[in-house]
Amino acid sequence: MSLRVQLTFWSVLVMAVIVCAVSAVDLALEVRHQFDSTLERAKYFRAASVSAVKRTLNRERTREIKDVLEHDADLQDELIGIMATSKLSVLEIAVCDPDGIILADTEPARKKVPFTNYPDFEPLVTKDSLIQKLKVLWGKSPGPTRYQLEQGLALVGKLEPALYVRVVIYPQAIKQEIAPTILAHAEVSVLSLAGAIVAAFLFSAIAFRPIGKLGHMLDLLAAGEYVSQEPAPAARSDEFGVVASKVSLLGQQLRGAQSEFSDLRGNFERLLEDLEDAVLLFGRDRRLVVAAGAVERFLGRNRAELIGKELADIFPPATSLGLLLQQASQTGRSIRNRRVPTGSAGNGSSSVPVALLSVDVLESLQTGVGAGTGTGLMVRLRDPEATRRIGRQLQTADRLSAISRITGGVAHEVKNPLNAILMHVELARMKLAKGDNDLGPQMDIIASEIVRLDRVV
């Protein structure tokens, strides 16, 4: 799933959550309002019914209460008229004695019938939660579906109520009053979701336009084209402009790094060309990356055809050399100057029957995209005969150096007596020129210096 689709999806989802949350809050407020309104109307109907009962009793004070309530047609009509204004939420208004026998009712057939008690409606409105109210409205609760409001009437001089006025309420009728509000909220929600989808598509189209350009620049970087062939866009000061400039700068740096790497690799290979050893670098996927030095002499194959081949293809595990390299590759242990027969190590004719094998583990060798895990290997093959030849040459050089130091010391020891002899010969000549024949000291010194020269030689 692309980022644009994800952004559109999450935008629509967030808008849907917001719309649903707002609709739920409105629905909760509407439900609470309807329950409060129903409670107020029920209290009003109860108070009106109590007033009607009181007026009836005041008109017939000489008769018994039960007889008056059971046979008064005006009270019956008045109670029916009160309930008629209650729409559908009030089902029944009953006047009962303390034993629960109905004396007057909006349904005449229920007179002298025991009244079925229902839960009090006021705690449902004032104390119960919104969830409980919704369960009552939609009939999901196993509890009662009818409630009542009750008020007792006590006679003059008595504390205990002699009559009870009970208003029976049917809360599920409130659904019909809430239905228009729910439909209005549903229409608003659908329109909001449609607007959210359109806005999300427009926003993603506008927002992802510069991101598309950045993606194109990154594709050019991945393809190795570090400089775009398109004209540079106008400079922008926002975040996308900053990122685009950094991507362009990164492309220039990568191009310079690639050029430097190519030069470095070329210099490295030219440096290794003069080596008498064979140097092979294997990447983490155990494929040959670099082959330099006397590869043809050790493997009998052209180095160009070896690049990219696996270690097992160049050095078969059936050979001694291949077995050692396979073990070093698996264990990660280095090998130093191990004598091993080459034979047909590279599936070619080797001109070096025995080689000195050295294997170094390269922890940080990278081989590009698609490289496997693990470490790289550097394999070096050396000719022991060439090593011995170089050793003999080094020994000869050491001997010549020793002779040079000896001759230098001898020259120094010879030069000093010769200087002394020359100086005293000049002194003897000067004495003879003056007629002085006492040359004994000069002759003694000359003799001692000649003895010294003889000892040095």
What's the Cα-to-Cα distance from 455 to each of 408, 444, 451, 452, rounded to whole Å?
Answer: 16, 17, 6, 5
The answer to whether 433 touches 439, Cβ cutoff 8 Å, is no
Round to whole Å and give the CA distance between 237 and 235. Answer: 7
pLDDT number for residue 232: 47
Question: In the prediction, which pLDDT does 146 show?
Answer: 84
Integer Cα distance of 362 and 376 in angstroms: 5
Q: Which one-letter DSSP state was computed for residue 120?
A: B
- Output the pLDDT for position 368: 44
What are the strands of the beta sheet with 147-154, ordered from one edge?
A: 102-105, 90-96, 161-169, 147-154
Q: Is 138 exposed, middle or buried (0-12, 13-18, 19+ CB in 10 A)?
A: exposed
247 within 8 A of 221, measured Cβ to Cβ: yes
Tens of pLDDT, residue by residue over 252-261, are 777 777 777 7
Contact 45, 82 (CB under 8 A): yes
Predicted pLDDT of residue 273: 63
- Give the pTM: 0.45
The CA distances from residue 143 to 128, 130, 132, 137, 140, in Å, are 13, 15, 10, 12, 9
DSSP at 61: -
Task: Record the tokens describing residue 75, joined without a space.
Answer: 């009270």
Contact assessment for residue 172 and residue 6, using Cβ atoms and an 8 Å cutoff: no
How high is the pLDDT of residue 425? 92
List, in sequence order, the alpha helices (H) in 157-173: none
Q: Which two tokens stand for residue 309?
A: 């081949």
For 224: left if phi > 0, alpha if psi spans -120 to 50, otherwise beta; the answer is left
3-class DSSP state for residue 339? strand
pLDDT the model gives residue 372:
40
Contact 93, 107 (CB under 8 A): no
Provide the pLDDT for residue 4.
Answer: 65
Judging by beta carbons within 10 Å of its beta carbon (0-12, 13-18, 19+), is residue 174 exposed, middle or buried?
A: buried
- Output the furthest CA–CA distance in the chain (Å, rounded): 195
What is the C-alpha separation between 52 and 58, in angstroms, rounded?
10
pLDDT averaged per 10 residues in sequence order, the chain, 457 residues = 70 78 82 86 88 84 79 82 76 88 86 88 87 75 77 79 87 76 78 78 73 71 58 54 72 73 71 73 86 79 82 84 84 85 62 82 55 69 76 85 86 86 90 87 90 86
CA proximity to 356, closest of 339, 341, 370, 373: 339
Question: Are 95 and 105 in contact, with CB atoms under 8 Å apart?
Answer: yes
Neighbours of 176 (CB within 10 A): 11
Q: In what order do the strands lie in the sheet with 288-293?
A: 288-293, 278-282, 376-382, 354-362, 335-341
Long-range contacts at 346-349 (CB < 8 A, ≥ 24 apart): 346/298, 346/299, 346/300, 346/301, 346/306, 346/314, 346/315, 347/300, 347/301, 347/314, 347/316, 348/299, 348/300, 348/301, 349/300
pLDDT for the residue 423: 92
